[in-house]
Each structure stands twice: as structure tokens, then as C-alpha cells.
Structure 1
Amino acid sequence: MSFKSSILAATAAAALVLPAFAGSEIEIHDPFARAAGVTAVAGAAFFMIQNSGDEDDRLIGAESDIAKRVELHTHIEDGDVMRMVEVEEGFPVPAGGMHALKRGGDHVMFMGLTRPMEQGDSIAVTLVFEKAGRIEVEIPVDLERGEDAPMMMDGMSTDHGN
């Protein structure tokens, strides 16, 4: 390898480890996805977003070939029922803070599944952040995870008995 190609390779490697935006350092913890079963037409993904940077950021979109449409959703109370609605403005992730996408709350919604979501599978999802840019995540399908299972982050539960 020539000196010039060594410098180019080192520069390219350094560029890969830098965050897309210096003030936003986004990490995704404890991702999992689920659907109601192999015949389901919709599914969802859940995870913790941690922003260890010094700038607020916002999850503004998601993309995946698992579905015809991928949207950011939440549940809202409508009289005596809870219903899902799209959150077009996305989810804020404060500097030095976290935002949980969990069952019964904020989540990534997959509508018009292009293939079944089966236990043990993994789906590729691109999360789009306002400042951090695009982050690729492999999300395992876990159809057995209970609704009240605490989210985990580096082996520590985020369920503090609340």
C-alpha cells in the first residue's frame, strides 16, 4: 500500500467513527420488534434512544423494507379507548437524556408488512434524526416479550418500580 493510499484509508476510517453531528451522540439500546403473528399486516419496534451529546436532537423518521409504510406513532386517549396516531414532528431526545419507545406509548410502526415477522428474525431499520442523521439498526423480532417487560440498558433495567 502506498503512502497516499494509507493516508486515504486512515482518513476514511476516521470519518466512520465521527458522529454525523458533533453535538449529538445517539445510541440505541434494547431494540425489539413484534407483530401479532405471522399473518399480521402490521408490526412495531421499541427501544431506548440515548443522547449523550450536548445538543438536543429529534427522531424524525424511520425506514425499513419490512413494510410498505413506516411511521412514528404514539397512543392517545380518545374517550374510553386508546388509539394510535402518527407523530409527524417526531420524538425529542434531550441532550444528556433518553427517550423510550415502548409498548403502549411511542413506537415505530410498520404498516403493510412485506413479509412475516417471525420469532428470532432480525429486521434492518434506518432511524433518521434531525441532527445525528441516519443510523442503521438491526432489530431482533421478539414475539415472546411481555407487555410489561422492563426496557434494559447495558444490563440495567429502566423500570424503577414506577
Structure 2
Amino acid sequence: MKPVKYLMLSLLGLSLHVSAQTTVDDAWVRATVAGQQASGAFMHITSTTDSKLVEVKSAVAKTVQIHEMKMVNDVMSMGPVPFVALPAGKTVDIEPEGYHVMLMDLVGQIKEGDSVPLTLVIEDAKGVQQSIEVNAPARALNAVSKPDHGAMHRSDHGNMH
């Protein structure tokens, strides 16, 4: 009976390791000027199962929100959203146009080259949450995502927040 117990435990362990896996690529934060109170964080997120980004935390900001920028009746609008859907196997862009992370009430200036800690909270379809720690480099104020992701990037929305 002992080998069966070990086999069952091994299979159970295996099934736990096969659960949702989320990867974060090309994470970066926009550098700020002295006194600036907000910045943005951007990245590409891919999950192996249907999941959602429900929260982002960072020690550099007192408030962190997930925002969406979209056109409504030919007027650009933006504001907080409760989550960003992460369909299985599809890369979701968190970028200046569309979904992005707002770091607000900054505790200090974010300088180009700084490493900004971010904690992403991902929730799968069963409601199980996992935290992913990311260290995002700060890029110059006029930086855009690296062009290796295909489409050309339009200019960012600057200080509209």
C-alpha cells in the first residue's frame, strides 16, 4: 500500500505544478521629473489559463491602479478598471494606449535606470490568486515599448492622468 500512497502524492504534486502559469515580459516604468506625482508601468502578460490581472502593488507609490484608455463617442476617456482579462495563451499588452498601470502619489522621483518593484496579483478562473514579483527598469520619459512586438506604437498619452 505504501507505493500507492507515494504515487498518489506524486501525482497530486504534479497536478499542482501544472496549474496556471503566467509570464511577464518587457516590463518597464516611465521615469519621472522631480516633483511628479504619477507614472505608468507597462508590460506584456501571458497566462496559460483564462485568468485576470486583479491588482498591482509597488513600494514606489501610495496608490496603484489599473487603468484603461479607450475611445467613447469619439472622445478619449480613461479611468480605473477592476481587472484585465488574460485569455489563455494570448499575450495581453499593458501599454500607454489601452490598459496600463498607474503609479500615483509617488514616494520619490523615478530616475532612468532605476529598478522599480512591482507585485502583480493574478487570479485564475477558480478564484485562486498568485503574486508575481517583477523588477521593472525605469526608461526615459519619452520611451515606448521595444518595437519587437510587431505593430508600431503611437505616441503616448503624456500627462493626461
TM interval, short-chain normalised: 0.7 to 0.9
The equivalent residue for 2:37 is: 41
Q: What SS does the aligned partner of 2:139 have?
A: coil
Q: Which amino acid aligns with 1:138?
A: N
Percent identity (aligned) = 29
Q: Which moved more, 1:34-43 or 1:22-31?
A: 34-43
Task: Confirm whether residue 138 of structure 1 aligns to residue 135 of structure 2.
Answer: yes
Q: What SS does the aligned partner of 1:72 have?
A: strand
Cα distance change on mapping 1:109 and 1:26 into 2, 3 Å: same
Give the deviation of 1:143 after TM superposition.
1.5
What is the number of residues matched between the two proteins? 137
Give the deviation of 1:39 after TM superposition.
2.3
Residue number among 8, 25, 33 corresponding to 2:21 in the alignment: 25
Give the deviation of 1:161 after TM superposition.
5.5
Distance 2:35 2:107 in 1: 11
Query: Which ranges in structure 1 are unaligned for 5 or more consecutive residues?
Result: 1-14, 152-156
Cα distance change on mapping 1:134 and 1:19 into 2, 3 Å: farther
Q: What SS does the aligned partner of 2:55 have?
A: strand
Normalising by structure 1, we get a TM-score of 0.74
Q: What SS does the aligned partner of 1:104 have?
A: coil
Is contact 2:31-2:141 (8 Å) kept? no
> Where has structure 1 moved over 4 Å in runs of 4 or more?
18-21, 78-81
Give the deviation of 1:80 after TM superposition.
5.2
Is contact 2:33-2:110 (8 Å) kept? yes
Q: How does 1:75-86 map to 2 (within 5 A)?
A: 75-78=69-72, 81-86=75-80
Query: Which ranges in structure 2 are unaligned for 5 or more consecutive residues?
Result: 1-12, 154-161
Distance 2:50 2:72 in 1: 30
CA RMSD of aligned residues (A): 2.6
Is contact 2:38-2:105 (8 Å) kept? yes
Q: Which amino acid aligns with 2:30?
A: R
Normalising by structure 2, we get a TM-score of 0.74
Residue number among 101, 106, 113 corresponding to 2:106 in the alignment: 113
Q: Which amino acid aligns with 1:135?
A: I
